[in-house]
Amino acid sequence: MYKHGVYVAEQASTLSTPKTSTAGLVVAVGTAPVNKAQNPAAAVNAPVIAYSYAEAAAQLGFDSDFKAYTLCGVVSAFFQVVGVGPIVCINVLDPAKHTADIPETECQINKGVAKLEVSGAVLDQLVVKAAGQALTAGTDYAAAFNDDGGVDIAVAADGKGKDATTLTVSGKKLDPGKVTKADIVGGVDAAGKETGIEVVRQVYPAFDMVPGILIAPGYSKEPEVAAALQAKTANLNGVFSCICIAEIDSGATGCTQYTKVGAQKEKQAITSKNAYAVWLHKMLGSAFYYGSTAAAAIMVRTDSENNGIPNRSPDNKSDPFGVSCLEDGTEVLLDVEQANAVNAVGAATFAKAGGQKLWGPDSAAAPGTSDPKDQQIGVRRFLIWRANSFILTYFSKVGDPMNRALVDNVVDGENINGNKFKALGICAEDRIEYREEENPITELAGGYIKFHHICTPFPGTKAIDDLIEFDANAIATALS
């Protein structure tokens, strides 16, 4: 290229563009009415991401029975009640496994349509007969779900059932009650197929998003499920961390009094610094929401109001989910004193405190830890988010020459971020250093380098004391 004159070119910045982790990405494991989904087989033991109610309903199906179909409660809570997202759902209810028989049922044909008043029917497993003769789906009839949860069967005008006045219908229907805690915990089979909570591993490879909050509504009261959730919060994909929200059993097998929450929490072994334990559930009108679902939605809304930065605790944040209740729906009214007794054992709950609030600042590691980085859930989540963001930002540097430029890139980039967090009042200190004494030549020669990150987010305010003094002399002064 011929040049004549003065030219300027820009060189790419030596600082890596910071990437932030998705602290508020909720991954929920549970049950969904996949018989109503567009592709039922694709929604079994696979991560499904949804950014809206319509997307979730299309991929998972939807039903208003949130106890039977726990993921529908998550969809409703996030998109209909609170208005935050996206969410990732992992459905374990398998139409090939968790079903019950539909006995032969006679259905009257009115205006060419017969109604099967059975909830959960699996359309491709229906057996439809007219006068004892089997009909063919798509040729002799078409079946579709109606607004009542049953099935409308439209008889073809030129099909084998065109002259029938009734149909005999049998087949299979979903049976969520057959889903066990073992299905939720899941595992990996000999062929490498992952199920249940093990599917959480697929979220980052599938969506390039790091899970932030794991929940298993209704099932996390089981010690085995709570243990699996807590275990999954560390070393996710070999490098990441997250938190989970586990429910303290408030049903017949658990505790129905706030004074017994500590013993029940201990029985369920909910003790991880990466766990947030919740006692009580919610009722909004006739809709039942599991406690972990409501707490997760409030937590994500708090993040969204804070530019996605998860340093603010969900403690004392407004609760839009109606009345608090036990698992059987019995209403429970807690005041601050009673709720504080729940908090004292390292659990959160829902209480009246200047309005209905989620009440609880600590991780499930409390009261067994005094380490400030592990005690408060807001501090814990920020440190996890900061660490995950560091990993995402510098993944691209692995394999690059380990020279001074790399060291300066990391130190300068991270200290710019740290100064931002200090200026925003999020951290008292946030700086990173390369310390020669922590990097012996034997490690450097092998390609291993270490940075020292000092990160001190401000803890949430737990209590404010006001000492009031009555000064009698002030009366005399005022009257003189």
DSSP characters over 334-392: --HHHHHHHHTTT-BEEEESSSEEEE--B-TTTTS---HHHHBHHHHHHHHHHHHHHHH
Same domain, 282 and 190: yes
Same domain, 220 and 365: yes
Residue 116: count of CB within 10 angstroms of its CB: 23
Q: Is 207 left (phi over 0), alpha (psi -120 to 50) or beta?
A: alpha
Question: What is the structure's pLDDT at 91?
Answer: 98
Q: Which two tokens stand for residue 294?
A: 């409501």
Based on the number of CB atoms within 10 Å of its own CB, is 157 exposed (0-12), middle (13-18) or buried (19 or more)? Answer: exposed
Residue 365: count of CB within 10 angstroms of its CB: 22
Same domain, 253 and 335: yes
Give the distance, in angstroms, between the CA of residue 69 and the centroid of all CA atoms in the same chain: 15
Q: Does residue 92 sit in helix, strand or coil?
A: coil
387 domain residue, yes or no: no
Same domain, 370 and 408: no
Same domain, 266 and 332: yes
Same domain, 330 and 295: yes
110 domain residue, yes or no: yes
Same domain, 73 and 164: no
Same domain, 145 and 274: no
Cβ atoms of 29 and 179 within 8 Å: the answer is no
Q: How far, in Å, CA of 480 to CA of 474, rounded? A: 10
Q: How far, in Å, CA of 247 to CA of 220, rounded? A: 6
Same domain, 348 and 477: no
Number of domains present in the structure of the chain: 3
Q: Which two tokens stand for residue 144?
A: 């579709």
Same domain, 86 and 104: no
2 domain residue, yes or no: no
Residue numbers of the chain with a pLDDT score lower than 70: 1-21
Same domain, 222 and 356: yes
Question: What is the structure's pLDDT at 13?
Answer: 47
Query: Domain range for residue 421?
Result: 400-480
- Record the pTM: 0.92
Indicate the residue among 120, 139, 174 that finishes a domain: 174
Same domain, 79 and 110: no
> What are the φ/ψ torsions at residue 306 (nearest 5 degrees)?
-125, 35
Cβ atoms of 316 and 357 within 8 Å: the answer is yes
Question: What is the structure's pLDDT at 21?
Answer: 63
127 domain residue, yes or no: yes
- Note if the bond before 47 is cis, omega within 30 degrees: no
Question: What is the structure's pLDDT at 148?
Answer: 85
20 domain residue, yes or no: no
